[in-house]
Structure 1
Amino acid sequence: MARDQKDYFYRKAKAEGYRARSAFKLQQINQRFRLIRRGDAVLDLGAAPGGWLQVAKEISGGRVVGVDLLAIEPIDGVTTIKADITAPETLELIVEALGGKADVVICDAAPNLSGNWTLDHARSIDLSRSALRVAESVLKPGGNFLVKVFQGDTFLDYLSEVRVRFRRAQSHSPAASRKESAEMYVVGQGFFIPPVKAGDVLELLIVGVGKSGDGFGEVEGFRIFVPGSGVGDRLRVRIGPIRSGHAVGTIEGREAAL
């Protein structure tokens, strides 16, 4: 309590009518990345007490839906759902409340802290993965994603998972985060579902060369880089890592060049 009373953003939130100091985190992140735009449909996971809902509504002016295990005091023009974001049945409630797909999914949820950092980090990653699963189900193509994650051993693994689903993905810490906090925000922009998955084997015509010198082919506009290939090669390729907006493949076999 003493720390909160001295906290600049805590006092600012009280003065400006926001329910939590975290409202300024979303404002700052949105100013930098423009995740939420006017008219966007926004889904806020782990939304209590409602600070992010207030900011999302101010920025968007459109449909805003918040979900949390705790009841959220009403916010004008915002729909709230009391439910568990990790439960499969919650997805139906979300889709019904949205009336379709979302342009943006945001999540500032945190697990109940135990004091055991390894356990708390693991719980944070699990919660963030639940948020990503919901985002994959409700986001429109090209939509954006924002989620809080505690730093730890598997943080980079999680960031890689987000990169598979978004054309751009990175971590960010806004100025409103406390200096002593281990929280980090993962920003995903440009949601897409790759037309291939790791392990697939397919016939690929190499149509161009990237900056690294590797040839690439395309499947539904999705680039697959193949080291050791050149323009005109027709190859049998096994899909390997899928990254932000592209995949890397290895040559399984080579057909006659065109």
Structure 2
Amino acid sequence: MSGKDDYYNRSKQQGYRARSAYKLKQIDEEADLFERGDTVVDLGAAPGGWLQVAAEEVGEAGTVVGVDLQRIDDLDDHDVETIRGDMTEERTRHYLREAVDEEGADVVVSDMAPNMTGEYTLDHARSVHLARQAFDAADELLASGGDFVVKVFQGDDLDAFRDDVSEAFQYVRTVSPPASRDSSSEVYLVGKGYTRSPVAEGDRVEVTVEEEGDEGDGIAYVDGYTLFVDGDVGETLTVEVTDVKPRFAFAERVDADGSD
């Protein structure tokens, strides 16, 4: 029996739903993904092995959400929310956004793989397509500074995909966990420190207030990204960004002389 087969036996003995649970454990050991109290989203989560590992790592104070087209049986030992649906559909994304709340997710992970055809070029292309879908979801759900893990098969399109992921994170590494089968071409891209928003805390930008928010504050936009500011509709002003969220930021007015 090979060493890789041992992971199957260990998963049965230790109560994990899939041997792939050890892949996430090993990725976490190398990339330091989880902290107590984190919010984690698992894309393509069935049967739930990665959900079990994430729930163990974030503890009772954390939040773990799994989504899959297949039904995910309840996890008896962990309080995990599951959503049955297609993550590319707006209805499912709406439920995911509600689950992570406005603070966003600390970690988004995906172990999705295509149905294998045996034609390597096609299987690779499909894996990259799935990985890009996971990346799009992470782009929408992650909080500033969050982390992303996604499985992809090695091949001609991997470098271009990695370059795209690198633009959204402080750095990206490629991880091949020992629990991956010897015959597998899979690798995991791990993006650390989500930085996709066009502004960062401390940035000063000139904006025009275009709308009034529900709370009476002004709404301005930077490259389509929402800024909540203290100003009236139609007013153009310089603001300093004070707090960045996944889908919006808060900014304070800066006087013409440079003082707040």
Q: Same fold (TM over 0.5)?
A: yes
Runs of 4+ that moved beyond 6 A: 3-6
TM-score by length of 1: 0.72
Question: Is 1:153 the equivalent of 2:156?
Answer: yes
Question: Is 1:74 the equivalent of 2:77?
Answer: no
1:11 aligns with 9
Q: How many residues align?
A: 194
**Residues 92-101 or 145-154, more deviating:** 92-101
Match of 1:37 among 20, 30, 35: 35
For structure 1, the residue ranges without an aligned partner over 5 or more in a row are 197-258
CA–CA distance in 2 between the matches of 1:49 and 1:4?
24
Identical counterparts, % of pairs: 50
2:125 aligns with 122
Check the 8 A contact 1:86/1:127 in 2, yes or no.
Answer: no
Check the 8 A contact 2:7/2:22 in 1, yes or no.
Answer: yes
CA deviation after TM superposition for structure 1 residue 126, in Å: 0.7
CA deviation after TM superposition for structure 1 residue 37, in Å: 1.1
Calculate the aligned-residue CA RMSD, in Å. 1.7
SS at match of 1:37: coil
CA–CA distance in 2 between the matches of 1:23 and 1:157?
28
For structure 2, the residue ranges without an aligned partner over 5 or more in a row are 200-260
Check the 8 A contact 1:5/1:11 in 2, yes or no.
Answer: no
1:94 aligns with 96
CA deviation after TM superposition for structure 1 residue 194, in Å: 5.5
CA deviation after TM superposition for structure 1 residue 5, in Å: 11
**Pairwise mapping of residues 39-188 of structure 1 onto structure 2 (< 5 A)?**
39-61=37-59, 62-75=62-75, 76-100=78-102, 101-188=104-191
CA–CA distance in 1 between the matches of 2:9 and 2:3?
7
**Residues 93-102 or 21-30, more deviating:** 93-102
Check the 8 A contact 2:21/2:50 in 1, yes or no.
Answer: yes
Letter in 2 for 1:68: D
SS at match of 1:89: helix
CA deviation after TM superposition for structure 1 residue 88, in Å: 3.1
